[in-house]
Amino acid sequence: MKNLTVEAQTIKNLIEELLNGYPIAEGGYYNEYNRILNESNAPIDWIGKNIDKYKDYNMFLYSNGLLTLYSVYRAIYAIFILEDKEKALEEFSRANEYGYLTLHITSMLCYIDCDIYGDDEYVMESKPQIEMDEISTLWGISFLMNDFEKADNMAKDLIDSLNTKGCIIARGNRTAYVEWFMVKLYALVMNIELDKRKPMYPKKDSNFKFYEEILDDWDTEDIVKVQLMIDTLCTLRLDLTEPMLNEDDDFRKPFLRLLPFEVIMFLRLREREGIKNPTKFTHSLMNTPLMTILVETSEIKSKPVASLPYAKKLLENLDDTYSELILPNEVYPILEKEIKKEEPIPQIHLKSREPAPKAGRYQPNLPKGHPDEEFVKEPRFIKRIAEGKSIGTFGLTDGNEELIVWVYLGE
């Protein structure tokens, strides 16, 4: 009998566990994988019970994230157990919509005031955030389904957050290598600036160096080299998985290793740029029934948001809870509401010792290269002007305070 490589053995074990039924740990719906296989809605019963009780962004974020994973696992089940390609693609199309709601719609809350509290020294804002190591699934599904419109919108959310213009993944995570690879690849392909000084970028001496080598030559036309890159990405993904699964594995982890979203994204972006890809693959992970179907899928598959369980109600609750939130225009017909129009924001030019005309929330806008660009964003400045006080001149560069424009954001 031919000895399997470590990678091939890992894949074999994953598929055997999937076919035999995932071992359930006591308690907690995250581990009730068998109930998903049995067509039960047990993992999402909690949403139905609490959708009218909790209406904040945490409920929206958690529920849509869970529904995304639920649909992905149902898709995996459809391929490996039912051997039903169409059912699998239907589930992936649902996951694509739920993932978009989770990441993109929640990101819109980064630009409004959800909750501000503080004391004499600090002002903190409560904003929605997702762990960076979760975005490979939420974002990756849009590439898997060839839905570049959603992929591009989510990419902006992620890059804005890393560049400190948004909040959805805060400043990132140094050890989220797969996700950093995906973000940086997108930024390279689309020629978008990613400021490596602001986010939590992987350290130079980390295993991210293997990803960096691929990023340095992502657009090569050497098919043999591309094949080696794909082999490396697949091996790195499987290195995150133990050869045998443990009973207490999290709902998110084990079988998602069978879905290398970063490879699909790599291939889709190269294809989008008109660069040829391999038509056959050497790595075991790229030759599972799952990946064979997905690599060959070229059409966009989508489901109307209004037809998704819980989606409309979750959107209604979010819109009702946050009156300042401006949702995408296409959402309002679903909610049977008129499209909200964003009111123009007046710009108030304040001199350094001049108090704000009224208390409220202000944002400093400075010319590019202004020496105090980071300094004025400190909480103590924001807090003083929010209270209707002058910002003073302490710490500001002499003669440059006149160039600061404070934008009034509302009460």
- Per residue in 149-183, pLDDT (tens digit) is 999 999 999 998 998 888 899 889 998 999 999 99
**Candidate from 113-122, 236-245, 351-360 with smallest mean pLDDT:** 113-122
Closest CA to 94 of 168, 55, 147, 158: 147
User: How large a percentage of the chain has pLDDT more than 70?
Assistant: 64
> Stretch 202-226: mean pLDDT, rounded?
92
Q: Encoding tokens for residue 201? A: 């970028």
Q: Is the pLDDT of residue 361 over 70?
A: no
Task: Report in angstroms the alpha-carbon separations of 228 from 208, 217, 222.
Answer: 17, 12, 10
Q: What is the pLDDT of residues 204-213, one digit of tens each?
A: 878 899 999 9
Indicate the pTM of the whole model.
Answer: 0.76
User: Domain residues of the chain, as ranges?
Assistant: 6-307, 347-410
- For residue 122, pLDDT beyond 80: no
Strand order in the sheet with 347-348: 347-348, 405-410, 361-365
Residue 28 has pLDDT above 50, yes or no: no
User: β-pairing, 361-365 with 405-410?
Assistant: antiparallel
Strand partners, 117: 124
Report DSSP letters for 267-318, one per residue. HHHHHHTT----SS--SGGGGSHHHHHHHH--S-----GGGSTTHHHHHHHH
Say whether pLDDT at 389 is over 50.
Answer: yes
Q: Enter the tokens of residue 13.
A: 């074990």
Q: 239 or 358, which is more confident? A: 239
In SS3 terms, 155-190 reads as HHHHHHHHCCCCCCCCCCCCCCHHHHHHHHHHHHHC
Least confident of 64-68, 102-106, 183-187: 64-68
